[in-house]
A = this chain, B = another copy of it.
Amino acid sequence: MILNLETEFTFAVEQATDVLLQFEVARLASQRVETSETRINPAPTLTRVMAEAGIGERIWLPASGQVSVSYCASVGVERSAPPLVELASLAPHELPAEAVGYLLDSRYCPAEQFQALVETEFGTFSGGARIEAIRSWIASNFAYTPGSSGTETTAVDSFVARRGVCRDYTHVLICLARASAIPARYVSCYAPGVDPPDFHAVAEVFLADPSNSASGTWYLVDATDMADPGETAIIGVGRDAADVSFLTSFGHSNFGTLSVRVTKE
Protein backbone atom coordinates (compact mmCIF):
# COMPACT_ATOMS: atom_id res chain seq x y z
CA MET A 1 0.00 0.00 0.00
CA ILE A 2 1.36 3.41 -0.97
CA LEU A 3 0.95 6.45 1.34
CA ASN A 4 1.54 9.94 -0.02
CA LEU A 5 2.50 12.50 2.62
CA GLU A 6 2.70 16.26 2.61
CA THR A 7 3.63 18.20 5.76
CA GLU A 8 4.31 21.87 6.27
CA PHE A 9 5.03 23.77 9.45
CA THR A 10 6.51 27.09 10.52
CA PHE A 11 8.00 28.42 13.71
CA ALA A 12 10.17 31.25 14.97
CA VAL A 13 12.91 31.30 17.59
CA GLU A 14 13.67 34.36 19.69
CA GLN A 15 17.42 33.80 19.61
CA ALA A 16 19.65 31.82 17.24
CA THR A 17 19.67 28.23 18.51
CA ASP A 18 19.97 24.61 17.40
CA VAL A 19 16.51 23.11 16.99
CA LEU A 20 15.84 19.36 16.94
CA LEU A 21 13.38 18.09 14.33
CA GLN A 22 11.98 14.63 13.67
CA PHE A 23 9.31 14.41 10.98
CA GLU A 24 10.66 12.23 8.16
CA VAL A 25 9.50 8.66 7.65
CA ALA A 26 12.05 6.11 8.89
CA ARG A 27 13.58 3.69 6.38
CA LEU A 28 12.58 0.22 7.54
CA ALA A 29 12.01 -3.19 5.99
CA SER A 30 8.26 -2.77 6.55
CA GLN A 31 8.05 0.67 4.93
CA ARG A 32 9.96 1.59 1.76
CA VAL A 33 10.45 5.33 1.16
CA GLU A 34 10.03 5.61 -2.62
CA THR A 35 10.46 9.37 -2.98
CA SER A 36 11.10 12.02 -0.35
CA GLU A 37 11.85 15.73 -0.35
CA THR A 38 12.59 17.97 2.63
CA ARG A 39 12.78 21.74 2.15
CA ILE A 40 13.71 24.13 4.89
CA ASN A 41 13.70 27.87 4.44
CA PRO A 42 16.03 29.65 5.04
CA ALA A 43 18.19 26.78 3.73
CA PRO A 44 20.56 25.76 6.51
CA THR A 45 23.24 23.14 6.89
CA LEU A 46 21.43 20.24 8.51
CA THR A 47 23.02 17.61 10.72
CA ARG A 48 21.33 14.23 10.85
CA VAL A 49 21.84 11.71 13.63
CA MET A 50 20.32 8.32 14.20
CA ALA A 51 17.20 8.49 16.40
CA GLU A 52 16.13 6.30 19.36
CA ALA A 53 16.46 2.55 18.88
CA GLY A 54 18.12 3.21 15.52
CA ILE A 55 14.74 3.98 13.92
CA GLY A 56 14.67 7.10 11.74
CA GLU A 57 16.75 10.23 12.02
CA ARG A 58 16.79 13.39 14.07
CA ILE A 59 17.71 16.62 12.31
CA TRP A 60 19.62 19.44 14.00
CA LEU A 61 18.75 22.75 12.41
CA PRO A 62 20.62 25.97 13.22
CA ALA A 63 17.56 28.24 13.48
CA SER A 64 17.26 31.97 13.67
CA GLY A 65 14.08 34.01 13.21
CA GLN A 66 11.30 32.54 11.07
CA VAL A 67 11.68 29.01 9.72
CA SER A 68 9.42 27.06 7.40
CA VAL A 69 9.67 23.33 6.79
CA SER A 70 8.00 21.25 4.11
CA TYR A 71 8.24 17.53 3.52
CA CYS A 72 6.66 15.26 0.91
CA ALA A 73 7.18 11.57 0.57
CA SER A 74 5.74 8.52 -1.03
CA VAL A 75 6.01 5.40 1.12
CA GLY A 76 5.20 1.77 0.37
CA VAL A 77 4.01 0.11 3.58
CA GLU A 78 3.94 -3.66 3.93
CA ARG A 79 3.31 -4.74 7.45
CA SER A 80 1.54 -7.82 8.66
CA ALA A 81 -0.48 -7.45 11.83
CA PRO A 82 -1.51 -10.67 13.53
CA PRO A 83 -4.48 -10.32 15.90
CA LEU A 84 -3.13 -9.18 19.27
CA VAL A 85 -5.24 -11.72 21.13
CA GLU A 86 -3.25 -14.54 19.54
CA LEU A 87 0.09 -13.26 20.86
CA ALA A 88 1.67 -14.30 24.17
CA SER A 89 3.96 -12.14 26.27
CA LEU A 90 7.49 -13.11 27.21
CA ALA A 91 8.44 -13.49 30.84
CA PRO A 92 10.43 -10.41 31.87
CA HIS A 93 13.64 -12.41 32.18
CA GLU A 94 13.24 -13.58 28.56
CA LEU A 95 13.22 -10.03 27.18
CA PRO A 96 16.18 -8.81 25.13
CA ALA A 97 18.26 -6.15 26.93
CA GLU A 98 17.07 -3.37 24.64
CA ALA A 99 13.39 -3.98 25.51
CA VAL A 100 13.85 -3.75 29.29
CA GLY A 101 14.06 0.06 29.37
CA TYR A 102 10.57 0.20 27.89
CA LEU A 103 9.20 -1.37 31.08
CA LEU A 104 10.29 1.62 33.17
CA ASP A 105 8.68 4.95 34.05
CA SER A 106 9.20 7.86 31.67
CA ARG A 107 8.27 11.56 31.48
CA TYR A 108 4.62 11.15 30.58
CA CYS A 109 4.21 7.49 31.50
CA PRO A 110 4.69 6.96 35.25
CA ALA A 111 3.64 3.35 34.85
CA GLU A 112 4.60 1.86 38.18
CA GLN A 113 1.72 3.46 40.10
CA PHE A 114 -0.78 1.67 37.80
CA GLN A 115 0.33 -1.83 38.89
CA ALA A 116 -2.51 -2.50 41.33
CA LEU A 117 -5.11 -0.97 38.99
CA VAL A 118 -4.07 -3.05 35.98
CA GLU A 119 -4.26 -6.19 38.07
CA THR A 120 -7.77 -5.32 39.28
CA GLU A 121 -9.16 -4.15 35.97
CA PHE A 122 -7.40 -6.41 33.46
CA GLY A 123 -6.10 -9.23 35.64
CA THR A 124 -8.12 -11.90 33.86
CA PHE A 125 -6.20 -11.31 30.61
CA SER A 126 -2.54 -11.83 29.81
CA GLY A 127 -0.19 -11.13 26.90
CA GLY A 128 -1.72 -9.76 23.72
CA ALA A 129 -5.22 -10.39 25.02
CA ARG A 130 -4.52 -7.99 27.87
CA ILE A 131 -3.21 -5.36 25.44
CA GLU A 132 -6.32 -5.79 23.33
CA ALA A 133 -8.54 -5.46 26.43
CA ILE A 134 -6.70 -2.28 27.43
CA ARG A 135 -6.88 -0.83 23.90
CA SER A 136 -10.54 -1.59 23.61
CA TRP A 137 -11.32 -0.10 27.03
CA ILE A 138 -9.49 3.15 26.17
CA ALA A 139 -11.19 3.36 22.77
CA SER A 140 -14.61 2.96 24.40
CA ASN A 141 -14.13 5.18 27.43
CA PHE A 142 -12.15 8.14 26.13
CA ALA A 143 -13.44 11.08 24.10
CA TYR A 144 -11.07 12.26 21.35
CA THR A 145 -10.97 15.98 22.14
CA PRO A 146 -8.42 18.22 20.36
CA GLY A 147 -7.30 21.03 22.66
CA SER A 148 -8.11 19.21 25.90
CA SER A 149 -4.50 18.39 26.76
CA GLY A 150 -1.13 20.13 26.64
CA THR A 151 2.61 19.55 26.82
CA GLU A 152 2.47 18.91 30.57
CA THR A 153 -0.37 16.37 30.48
CA THR A 154 0.73 12.95 31.78
CA ALA A 155 -0.91 9.56 31.44
CA VAL A 156 -2.20 9.93 35.00
CA ASP A 157 -3.99 13.15 34.07
CA SER A 158 -5.40 11.57 30.92
CA PHE A 159 -6.48 8.41 32.69
CA VAL A 160 -8.63 10.52 35.02
CA ALA A 161 -9.85 13.04 32.42
CA ARG A 162 -11.00 10.30 30.03
CA ARG A 163 -10.25 12.63 27.12
CA GLY A 164 -7.30 13.74 25.04
CA VAL A 165 -5.71 13.27 21.63
CA CYS A 166 -3.65 10.44 20.10
CA ARG A 167 -0.66 11.37 22.28
CA ASP A 168 -2.72 10.94 25.43
CA TYR A 169 -4.45 7.73 24.36
CA THR A 170 -1.03 6.29 23.60
CA HIS A 171 0.47 7.37 26.92
CA VAL A 172 -2.33 5.66 28.84
CA LEU A 173 -1.95 2.46 26.83
CA ILE A 174 1.83 2.49 27.39
CA CYS A 175 1.38 2.89 31.17
CA LEU A 176 -1.09 0.07 31.45
CA ALA A 177 1.13 -2.22 29.35
CA ARG A 178 4.29 -1.47 31.34
CA ALA A 179 2.41 -1.91 34.61
CA SER A 180 1.55 -5.36 33.22
CA ALA A 181 5.29 -6.09 32.68
CA ILE A 182 4.89 -5.81 28.90
CA PRO A 183 7.40 -3.41 27.24
CA ALA A 184 5.67 -0.54 25.47
CA ARG A 185 6.94 2.44 23.54
CA TYR A 186 5.67 5.53 21.74
CA VAL A 187 5.58 5.73 17.95
CA SER A 188 5.20 8.99 16.06
CA CYS A 189 3.80 8.37 12.61
CA TYR A 190 1.64 9.37 9.66
CA ALA A 191 -1.68 7.68 8.93
CA PRO A 192 -4.46 8.49 6.47
CA GLY A 193 -7.51 8.18 8.74
CA VAL A 194 -6.44 10.76 11.35
CA ASP A 195 -9.16 13.34 11.88
CA PRO A 196 -8.49 16.25 12.15
CA PRO A 197 -5.33 15.60 10.05
CA ASP A 198 -2.15 15.88 12.13
CA PHE A 199 0.93 13.97 13.09
CA HIS A 200 -0.27 10.77 14.69
CA ALA A 201 0.92 8.68 17.64
CA VAL A 202 0.40 5.02 18.43
CA ALA A 203 2.05 2.52 20.76
CA GLU A 204 4.25 -0.46 20.12
CA VAL A 205 4.21 -3.39 22.54
CA PHE A 206 6.77 -6.17 22.71
CA LEU A 207 5.12 -9.59 22.47
CA ALA A 208 6.19 -13.10 21.57
CA ASP A 209 6.38 -14.24 17.96
CA PRO A 210 3.42 -16.43 17.01
CA SER A 211 5.79 -19.13 15.79
CA ASN A 212 8.44 -18.94 18.52
CA SER A 213 7.36 -18.01 22.01
CA ALA A 214 10.95 -17.52 23.22
CA SER A 215 11.63 -14.56 20.96
CA GLY A 216 9.57 -11.46 20.39
CA THR A 217 9.08 -8.32 18.38
CA TRP A 218 7.27 -4.97 18.47
CA TYR A 219 3.61 -4.76 17.43
CA LEU A 220 1.75 -1.53 16.62
CA VAL A 221 -1.40 -0.74 18.63
CA ASP A 222 -3.61 2.30 18.14
CA ALA A 223 -5.95 3.08 21.03
CA THR A 224 -7.72 5.73 18.92
CA ASP A 225 -8.70 3.15 16.28
CA MET A 226 -7.77 5.68 13.57
CA ALA A 227 -4.68 3.99 12.15
CA ASP A 228 -4.37 0.49 10.76
CA PRO A 229 -0.82 -0.94 11.18
CA GLY A 230 -0.75 -1.66 7.44
CA GLU A 231 -1.40 2.03 6.72
CA THR A 232 0.98 3.57 9.26
CA ALA A 233 4.26 5.27 8.23
CA ILE A 234 6.56 5.31 11.27
CA ILE A 235 8.70 8.39 11.93
CA GLY A 236 10.39 7.35 15.15
CA VAL A 237 10.02 5.65 18.52
CA GLY A 238 10.82 6.53 22.12
CA ARG A 239 9.86 6.14 25.74
CA ASP A 240 7.00 8.62 25.21
CA ALA A 241 6.17 11.87 23.42
CA ALA A 242 9.20 13.62 24.94
CA ASP A 243 11.52 11.47 22.81
CA VAL A 244 9.92 12.01 19.41
CA SER A 245 8.54 15.52 19.37
CA PHE A 246 8.65 16.81 15.79
CA LEU A 247 10.13 20.06 17.17
CA THR A 248 12.30 20.45 20.29
CA SER A 249 13.81 23.84 20.93
CA PHE A 250 16.50 24.81 23.44
CA GLY A 251 15.25 28.33 23.99
CA HIS A 252 11.83 29.92 23.56
CA SER A 253 10.19 29.25 20.21
CA ASN A 254 6.83 30.34 18.87
CA PHE A 255 5.01 27.77 16.87
CA GLY A 256 3.27 29.03 13.72
CA THR A 257 1.13 26.76 11.59
CA LEU A 258 1.05 23.06 10.80
CA SER A 259 -0.60 21.12 8.03
CA VAL A 260 -0.41 17.39 7.49
CA ARG A 261 -1.95 15.56 4.54
CA VAL A 262 -1.86 11.78 4.13
CA THR A 263 -3.54 9.96 1.26
CA LYS A 264 -3.66 6.35 0.06
CA GLU A 265 -2.78 5.61 -3.52
Contacts and interface: CB of A to CB of B under 8 A. Distances in A.
Interface string A174-197: 000001110000000000000000
Contacts of A179: 250
Contacts of A251: 115, 119
User: Which one of A60, A104, A113, A157 has the highest number of Cβ atoms from chain B below 10 Å of its Cβ?
Assistant: A104
Interface of A: 17-18, 20, 47, 49-52, 58, 60, 62, 91-97, 100-101, 103-107, 110, 112-117, 119-120, 141, 143, 150-153, 156-157, 159-163, 179-181, 238-239, 242-243, 248, 250-252
A157 B101 CA distance: 23
A163 B114 CA distance: 10
Contacts of A103: 20, 248, 250
Contacts of A101: 52, 238, 243
Given A101-B52, A116-B143, A143-B116, A93 B60 contact: yes
Nearest to A19: B92
A58 B106 contact: no
5 contacts: A20-B103, A47-B93, A104-B242, A105-B107, A113-B161
A179 B97 CA distance: 29
Contacts of A91: 18
A50 B97 contact: yes
A14 to B, nearest CB: 10
A1 to B, nearest CB: 31
Contacts of A239: 106, 239
A92 B20 contact: yes
Contact of A160 (B106, B156, B250): B156
Contact of A163 (B17, B95, B116, B243): B116
B160 A114 contact: yes
Contacts of A157: 113, 152, 156
A92 B242 contact: no
A216 to B, nearest CB: 14
